[in-house]
Amino acid sequence: MSTPPIETFPNPAPNRRYVITHVNPEFTSVCPKTGLPDFGTVTIRYIPRERCIELKSLKYYYLSYRNEGIFYEAVTNKILDDLVAACDPEEMTVTTEWRTRGGIHSIIEASYHRSQQQ
């Protein structure tokens, strides 16, 4: 799949370690097995370095998954990879919480720490 670009803007306080959280309770993609839609809440939490994520482009980025077939574990890791590539943060965590399927609901949480990359 090709996703729209995630835009960024200059961090207004680049010398301070602080935390930005964006919560999207309206995420939807498609189960690759059944072709049925999945619904979830995607939360990103990051410590910016030079760039912050621009909210409108983030919304369109999420929208690009609407008719894509992708598993919970894969979409969570892909969002993390894409957002880290876009804004090069100090740290970032992506959490996805999914509505009940077959009586079970799921939560996936993946993190990136810049200092732990080589």
| Active site (catalytic) residues | 31, 38
Nearer to its own copies, 2 or 13 (CB): 13
Measured in whole angstroms, how far is the alpha carbon of residue 93 from the centre of its chain? 8
Residue with tokens 């979409």: 75
DSSP-assigned beta bridge partners for residue 18: none
DSSP-assigned beta bridge partners for residue 72: none
Is residue 20 a contact residue for its own copies (CB under 8 A)?
yes
* Site residues for its own copies per CB under 8 A: 11-13, 16-26, 28, 36-37, 39, 48, 52, 55-56, 58-59, 63, 66-67, 71-74, 76-77, 99-112
